């Protein structure tokens, strides 16, 4: 029953019909019914926003029905003309689309058209997903989807068509003749490109710029196997291919970006979370780690989090600028972490390719303990047990090395330190110590003479009245190889004479070249070789080479043009002074010690005399 009429139409009925249409729309389903009544749909051929709506209704001889807002109805307000179950004319604020009239201001019509006048859409909905065919009338379809390839023919016979896979478009030019005018596509659906929306060749690509491989500009989130995808581009190109995370490297790393698309970001791109100056990198448990740097002289730090200045030969990584943390090619890291060395310097030992300081009294050692010395600086000798190879360093000609040595006969020099050259009767010098010559068995390696060895045996060699083993300290500082009691190869690179004696090098020199005039090539520990090939203490300045106070292990700069200090590896306060070995660790000379000893004896003697006198006098009393 019509309760209210307006402009010749029953408006109350119309409201009821709209309510019914909304209720059916809410189900989101269009069901095709063959041979049904006027309220049933014959064809669900209108697709709006991904949902199907009715495009033609079932009819009978008595009732005319057509789709309004996608639902079959017999009302005539918006669809005054019908034929074959479809609207042939629209009116008021509705427009024609796929056989039905749709109203603006409500779903689903407002998805396509924003404004309609007298049954014609005049302003398409925002988003540019639809366009208005030029010169459309209320008896024509006046809105089209950008991707509608079916096309329409207007009352005036002009034809218009959309572009397959087009997402957004502009209005086409006015058609002429029998040729359909296509919409001007401005953006394609994912996986297509260009004005004609041609398919990208990479199936994993969302957007691409042109035909061919490697032209993708954005990838899908995952591939068919579920693996995340990343856009991998060349350094100078904005396009590339879609790859899995493991395929980004080595010059790039996978960067997740839900807004702009995942990509393989350059290792050196700080704006993408990369590391400045990084050439190759990898992600380890989510953390980016640089493995090589682009700039010459820079290397990754220990954690790989930065490229730092590391202009150090054979250095694998630096923790800070020019502070090496590890070396390559089995080189040893210097104690100052400023160089990678073939051998550890004096005063340090090789601790898994890291030169670690010995106790300051040792020139070489097996570990950092005071009793782990294996060699001593000039002026000091190794005080070791009879069976061991390590010990402590003590001043030369003291302790066990002074026992049973003839007075004034601590004159044999090996490795810059003095040893006994003649012992008291009944003793002979072997490896610098006076050992008994009166036992049943002769001392090892020595043919006994009067306080001296007259000759040596086996791998021992004769030097300044004593026999020294070439395979142990201190003998090996003078002779590298001995046989049948004679030195056959000198440690100072000189050639032994027929008696097996090694010609001496210049003062404080460990090895030298030449016969008559000898040129030093290597100094004893605690010395450096200056420009004149003379050995100077590490604490002494010579020419443009500046010594360092209290330094006992050093490396001289190479041909400096200005005053340049030595590289000091070990210092000691007071320093072991090879020129004055009588200075002990406490800084007292042997003369001072002797004076103190005399004073103590005098005091003790006086006290004893006083006590004797006191008790004698008390006894008489």
395 or 619, higher pLDDT: 395
- The answer on pLDDT for 600 being more than 60 is no
CA distance 553 to 349: 13
Q: Is 608 helix (H, G, I), strand (E, B) or coil?
A: helix
Average pLDDT over residues 510-530: 92
CB burial class (10 A; 0-12, 13-18, 19+) of residue 382? buried
- The answer on pLDDT for 27 being more than 60 is no
Taking only Cα atoms into account, the Rg of the chain, rounded to an integer number of angstroms, comes to 51
Kindly list the distances between the CA atom of residue 352 and the CA atoms of 11, 327, 335, 344, in Å, as whole numbers in the listed order. Answer: 96, 11, 13, 11
Q: Are 96 and 119 in contact (CB under 8 A)?
A: yes
pLDDT value at residue 609: 52
**pLDDT confidence tier of residue 618, bands split at 50, 70 and 90:** very low
Residues 201-235 as b/e (b if ≥16 CB within 10 A, e otherwise) read bbebbbbbeeeeeebbbbbbeeeeeeeebbbbbee
State pLDDT tens for residues 372-420: 999 999 999 999 877 788 999 999 999 999 999 999 999 999 999 999 9
pTM, entire model: 0.56
- The answer on pLDDT for 606 being more than 80 is no
- The answer on pLDDT for 598 being more than 70 is no
pLDDT value at residue 12: 39
The residue among 392, 380, 403, 394 whose CA lies nearest residue 524 is: 380
Q: Are 430 and 458 in contact (CB under 8 A)?
A: no
Q: Can you read off the two tokens belonging to residue 151?
A: 């096309």
Q: Is 459 helix (H, G, I), strand (E, B) or coil?
A: coil
State pLDDT tens for residues 114-143: 999 999 999 999 999 999 999 999 999 999
DSSP letters for 320-386: ETTEEEEESTT-EE-TTSS-EESSPPTTEEESSSBEEE--TTEEEESSSSGGGEEEE-TTEEEEE-S
Q: Are 387 and 585 in contact (CB under 8 A)?
A: no
Average pLDDT over residues 275-296: 92
Average pLDDT over residues 38-47: 95
Percent of the chain with pLDDT over 90: 73
**pLDDT confidence tier of residue 594, bands split at 50, 70 and 90:** very low
pLDDT value at residue 574: 63
pLDDT value at residue 164: 97
State pLDDT tens for residues 344-360: 999 999 999 999 999 98
pLDDT value at residue 582: 43
515 or 607, higher pLDDT: 515
State pLDDT tens for residues 191-201: 999 999 999 98
**pLDDT confidence tier of residue 440, bands split at 50, 70 and 90:** low
Q: Is 298 helix (H, G, I), strand (E, B) or coil?
A: strand
Domain ranges in the chain?
1-91
CA distance 255 to 288: 10
β-pairing verdict for 486-490 and 198-199 = unpaired
pLDDT value at residue 83: 95
Q: Can you read off the two tokens belonging to residue 270?
A: 């700080």
CA distance 408 to 389: 28
The residue among 209, 253, 204, 200 whose CA lies nearest residue 229 is: 204
Q: Mean pLDDT of all residues in the chain?
A: 87
């Amino acid at each position: 029953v019509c309760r209210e009429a307006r402009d010749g139409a029953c408006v109350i009925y119309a409201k009821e019909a709209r309510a019914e249409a909304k209720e059916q729309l809410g189900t989101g389903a269009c069901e095709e019914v063959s041979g049904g009544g006027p309220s049933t749909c014959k064809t669900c051929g209108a697709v709006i926003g991904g949902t199907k709506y009715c495009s033609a209704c079932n009819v009978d001889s008595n009732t005319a029905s057509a789709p309004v807002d996608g639902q079959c109805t017999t009302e005539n307000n918006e669809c005054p003309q019908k034929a074959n179950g479809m609207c042939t004319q629209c009116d008021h604020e509705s427009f024609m689309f796929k056989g039905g009239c749709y109203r603006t201001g409500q779903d689903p019509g407002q998805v396509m058209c924003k404004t309609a006048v007298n049954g014609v859409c005049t302003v398409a909905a925002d988003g540019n997903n639809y366009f208005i065919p030029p010169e459309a009338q209320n008896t024509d379809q006046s809105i089209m989807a950008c991707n509608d390839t079916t096309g329409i023919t207007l009352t005036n016979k002009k034809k218009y068509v959309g572009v397959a896979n087009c997402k957004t478009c502009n209005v086409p030019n006015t058609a002429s003749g029998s040729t359909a005018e296509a919409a001007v596509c401005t953006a394609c659906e994912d996986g297509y490109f260009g004005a004609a929306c041609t398919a990208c060749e990479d199936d994993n690509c969302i957007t691409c710029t042109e035909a061919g491989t490697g032209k993708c500009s954005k990838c899908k989130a995952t591939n068919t196997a579920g693996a995340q995808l990343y856009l991998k581009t060349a350094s100078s190109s904005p396009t590339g291919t879609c790859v899995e995370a493991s395929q980004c490297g080595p010059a790039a790393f996978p960067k997740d970006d839900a807004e702009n698309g995942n990509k393989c970001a350059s290792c050196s791109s700080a704006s993408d979370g990369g590391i400045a100056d990084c050439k190759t990198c990898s992600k380890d448990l989510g953390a980016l780690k640089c493995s090589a740097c682009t700039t010459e002289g820079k290397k990754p730090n220990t954690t790989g989090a930065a490229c730092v200045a590391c202009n150090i030969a054979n250095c694998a990584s630096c923790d800070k600028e020019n502070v090496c943390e590890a070396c390559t090619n089995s080189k040893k890291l210097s104690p100052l972490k400023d160089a990678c060395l073939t051998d550890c310097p004096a005063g340090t030992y090789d601790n898994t390719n890291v030169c670690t300081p010995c106790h300051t009294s040792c020139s070489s050692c097996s570990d950092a303990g005071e009793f782990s010395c294996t060699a001593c600086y000039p002026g000091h000798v190794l005080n070791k047990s009879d069976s061991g190879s390590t010990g402590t360093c003590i001043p030369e000609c003291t302790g066990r090395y002074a026992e049973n040595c003839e007075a004034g006969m601590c004159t044999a020099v090996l490795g810059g330190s003095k040893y006994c050259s003649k012992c008291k009767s009944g003793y002979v010098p072997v490896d610098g110590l006076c050992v008994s010559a009166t036992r049943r068995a002769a001392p090892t390696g020595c043919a006994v003479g009067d306080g001296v060895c007259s000759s040596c045996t086996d791998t021992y060699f004769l030097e300044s009245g004593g026999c020294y083993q070439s395979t142990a300290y201190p003998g090996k500082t003078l002779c590298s190889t001995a046989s049948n009691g004679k030195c056959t190869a000198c440690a100072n690179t000189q050639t032994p004479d027929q008696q097996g004696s090694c010609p001496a090098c210049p003062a404080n020199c460990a090895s030298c070249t030449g016969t008559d005039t000898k040129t030093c090539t290597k100094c004893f520990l605690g010395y450096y070789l200056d420009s004149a090939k003379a050995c100077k203490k590490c604490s002494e300045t010579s020419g443009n080479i500046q010594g360092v106070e209290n330094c006992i292990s050093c490396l001289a700069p190479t041909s400096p043009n200005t005053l340049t200090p030595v590289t000091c590896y070990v210092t000691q306060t007071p320093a072991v002074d090879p020129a004055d070995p009588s200075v002990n660790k406490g800084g007292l000379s042997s003369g001072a010690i002797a004076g103190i000893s005399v004073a103590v004896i005098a005091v003790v003697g006086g006290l004893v005399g006083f006590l004797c006198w006191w008790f004698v006098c008390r006894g008489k009393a």
